[in-house]
Amino acid sequence: MTPTQLRAFTSVVRLGSVKAAAAELGVTEAAVSLHVAHLRKELEDRLFVPTASGLAFTPGGLRLASRAVEILGLQDRTVREVSQAGDGRRLLRLATSSLFAEHAAPGLIELFAGRADDLDVELSVRQPAQLPGLLAARTVDLAVGPALTQVPDFLVHQPFLTYEVVTVVGPRHPLAGRTLTAAQVRDQRWLLGPSAAGDQGAIPGLLRRLGVPEAQQSIFQSDAAAVEETRRGEGLSLALRFAVAADLAAGRLALVEGSALRASGTWAALALPAHSRPPAAAELWRFITSPRATQAMIRGAGVRVGRFRPSVHVTLWS
């Protein structure tokens, strides 16, 4: 059996279909089916069969899935550790939602990476729904996104920071300082950051509860850009209270009040069990709940109006 075959099979197991696995891997369904066929022949086990309710796995298929994840993870970890040993550096691969990446990751990573001269942190910005799969495939070492109500069995989950989302406008906007209902703001122009385009998290949830039509939403490349446009224009924006506190205090922004116009959210760390984590991921797992980390996330520089590319690490937007 080959790593390519195992990777195809684990994707089928995790996603529940050959079609979904092919889409994730960027190959044809025929290629995935061929890899699975080779495994079936070599192991003399059907591994799974299609049913009206989805795929039904044999006991051997489930055992292979569990072992394949371990094998692939060990392969990726070995390649990474050999490479790091060659240049004397460690790499921590962190995947987060866009909201966390913009507002809290800069301060956290600057403080955490600054404690070790041999550590590089690679940050990739992903949709929250992708995070469990990235961890399962050992593509990343640790993930941060909206707290989950249901955690996959193969992951551990650690909520660590609660935030408040508020509705803001420019100081001369006619709605500034008013207390309004959802119906009164639903058809206004909304200026939003990239997190509004997702399905999970406090901001998408608030927009759904308000019933804001997509035609009234303008999505900017960052929350900072959306807020900057809000200061100058006639739209409403959703922002983290700690991120706009200085603008509110200085009168550069104003709140629009109302129970329907605010929400709270919680960020949580996701990782594989402790015995499967690289040392750097285990260190960040412990550090992220500390008071120093909380202060760094809330008081960090955050992102400016342009794209988020802080100097302390590589950022991969996807």
What pLDDT sits at residue 30? 93
CATH of the domain at 230: 3.40.190.290
Nearest to 239 by CA among 259, 258, 253: 253
Does position 317 have pLDDT exceeding 50, yes or no?
no
What is residue 168's DSSP assignment? Answer: E
Same domain, 255 and 174: yes
Given 57, 81, 105, the domain boundary residue is 81
**What pLDDT digit, counting tens, does each position of 44-92 carry?**
988 887 766 567 777 788 788 878 877 887 777 677 667 666 666 778 8
pTM of the model: 0.71
Q: Are strands 54-57 and 119-125 parallel, antiparallel or unpaired?
A: unpaired
| Domain coverage including residue 21 | 3-81
H-type alpha helices, the chain: 3-15, 18-25, 29-43, 59-87, 98-103, 105-113, 131-136, 182-185, 202-210, 223-232, 241-250, 279-287, 291-299
What pLDDT sits at residue 311? 34
Same domain, 147 and 285: yes
Dihedral over Cα of 293, 296, 297, 299: its sign: positive
Same domain, 201 and 222: yes
Element (H, E) at 307: none
Given 265, 285, 309, the domain boundary residue is 265
